[in-house]
Amino acid sequence: MSAAKVALVTGAGHRLGRHIACGLAENGYDCVVHYHRAKAEAEETARQIRKRKRNVVLVRADLATMDGIATVVGAVREFTEYLHLLVNNAGVFPSAAFEQVTPEIFDHAINVNVRSAFFLSQQLLPLLRNARGSSIINIASAGAYQTWTNHIPYNISKAGLVMLTRALAKTLAPDIRVNAVAPGVIVVPGEPVRKELSPERIPLRRHGLPDDIVKAVLYLAEDACYLTGHVLPVDGGIIDIK
């Protein structure tokens, strides 16, 4: 059982989730790292956290299912009685024209992107209340505010995550703060960049980096003690473009 600050980061096996988990470890958090399929990548995340002298637990689960949510909750309860930070980062990004969206595609986007955040927050509430100054941070998206015609279920799910953030902020105050980060175009080093995501379309003329999101998460978790119910766009200015 951990006596340090503890964070659960979902979808932390690789990509942005790994950077968030490692950034939290760098700042003194022990981590419960959730992943679904990326086992080797999750083990690398764990190695990097241990390199920072923090404790880490890996938990594999499909957050599209209630059984998967229960698995994650059980792993957290086994590790700690106090949860200081829940980062709902797990997400899927289905691509399909409107006419091609099936009930399975739609349900999967909703279940992973917003339902899992709802029920993880609900079922981990006792542990969050046990910790003083705890918070929930949802990783939303610029897609919550923009219309991407081949990603409508994603848009809907991320808009729902924004509303969940606002609703939980009021519901859980004053004990637990709830905020969100809305990333724009974030390029993970080593991954290809789609041609349509040109920096020329971004007011700040550059893509975002994982460290930009890590800094936002740390700000909301550590410094923004009088902030709740808000969405912090980390997008280079694209959300305001109509």
Q: How far apart are CA 138 and CA 178, in angstroms?
A: 8
Q: Hey, which residues does 183 pair with through a beta bridge?
A: 234
Separation CA 74–CA 177 (nearest Å): 23
* Helices assigned H by DSSP within the chain: 15-26, 39-51, 66-79, 103-110, 116-123, 125-130, 152-172, 210-218
Q: How far apart are CA 160 and CA 211, in angstroms?
A: 25
Of 29, 35, 145, 154, the active-site residue reads: 154
pLDDT band at 3 (very low <50, low <70, confident <90, very high): low
Q: Are 53 and 47 in contact (CB under 8 A)?
A: no
| Distance separating alpha carbons of residues 133 and 200, to the nearest angstrom | 40
Residue 131's pLDDT is 97
The reply to whether 82 belongs to the active site is no
Greater confidence (193 vs 106) lies with: 106
List the domain range (segments joined by +) for residue 46: 5-240
pTM for the full model? 0.96
Per-residue pLDDT reduced to its tens digit, 93-152: 999 999 999 999 999 999 999 999 999 999 999 999 999 899 999 999 999 999 999 999
Q: 193 falls in which pLDDT band (50, 70, 90)?
A: confident
pLDDT tens digits along 165-184: 999 999 999 999 999 999 99
Task: Encode 49-67: b = buried (16+ Cβ within 10 Å), e = exposed.
Answer: beebebbbbbbbbbbbeee
Say what the pLDDT of residue 242 is: 46
The whole-number pLDDT of residue 4 equals: 86
Convert the pLDDT of each residue in 48-99 to its tens digit. Answer: 999 999 999 999 999 999 999 999 999 999 999 999 999 999 999 999 999 9
Q: What is the CATH number of the domain that holds 34?
A: 3.40.50.720
Residue 240 pLDDT class (50, 70, 90 cuts)? confident
Q: Are 121 and 71 in contact (CB under 8 A)?
A: no
| Total domains, the chain | 1
